Amino acid sequence: MSDQPSIVHPEWVHGRRLWMDTPMRDLIARMRFGDPVKGWEGDARLELYWNGDEERFEVWRLEDDEQYRFVCRSAPGVPFDDRIIDALIGWDGRRRQSPLHETVINHNLCLDAERDAARDEWVAEDLAPRLRHAFRQDD
């Protein structure tokens, strides 16, 4: 569960109206307060708003500087479903064991090590016997 479940979000943020429709209430609650089935701890700073001009649902987050920042939006006229929880889990920096740049660097180092190992194997199995044979022929 989030550390600030008592946040009261304003009705209007950047021209978007707070969405409180009954069919999406459960999804909004799981987005803000957690979904233990999916392993989402929730984020009370998240809120769902309706952008009437574009007819899209939008997730906004109240940041530490007390400003609302855009997180994501739906396709026009399409409400969010459970996949938004999966997306939030993927975007949640708290779940990342190491920073993204370290993850990328480590992945690239693993690829380099695999290539080096493949090259060494090729040298040991294919090239070395040929070289030994060539040296014997030279003697």
pTM of the model: 0.56
**Per-residue model confidence as pLDDT tens digits over 49-71:** 889 899 999 999 998 888 999 99
Amino acid letter, residue 92: D
Contacts of 114 (CB under 8 A, 6+ apart): none
Antiparallel, parallel or unpaired: β 12-13 and 16-18: antiparallel
Element (H, E) at 134: helix 128-138
Cα end-to-end distance, the chain, whole Å: 76
Antiparallel, parallel or unpaired: β 56-62 and 12-13: unpaired
**Per-residue model confidence as pLDDT tens digits over 26-56:** 888 999 999 998 888 999 999 998 898 999 9
- Least Cα distance to 83 among 138, 14, 17, 35 occurs for 35
C-alpha dist (Å) from residue 48 to 96, 103, 104, 111, 120: 24, 31, 32, 41, 55
Q: What percent of the chain has pLDDT over 90?
A: 24
**Angle ∠(43,8,38) on CA atoms, nearest 5:** 20
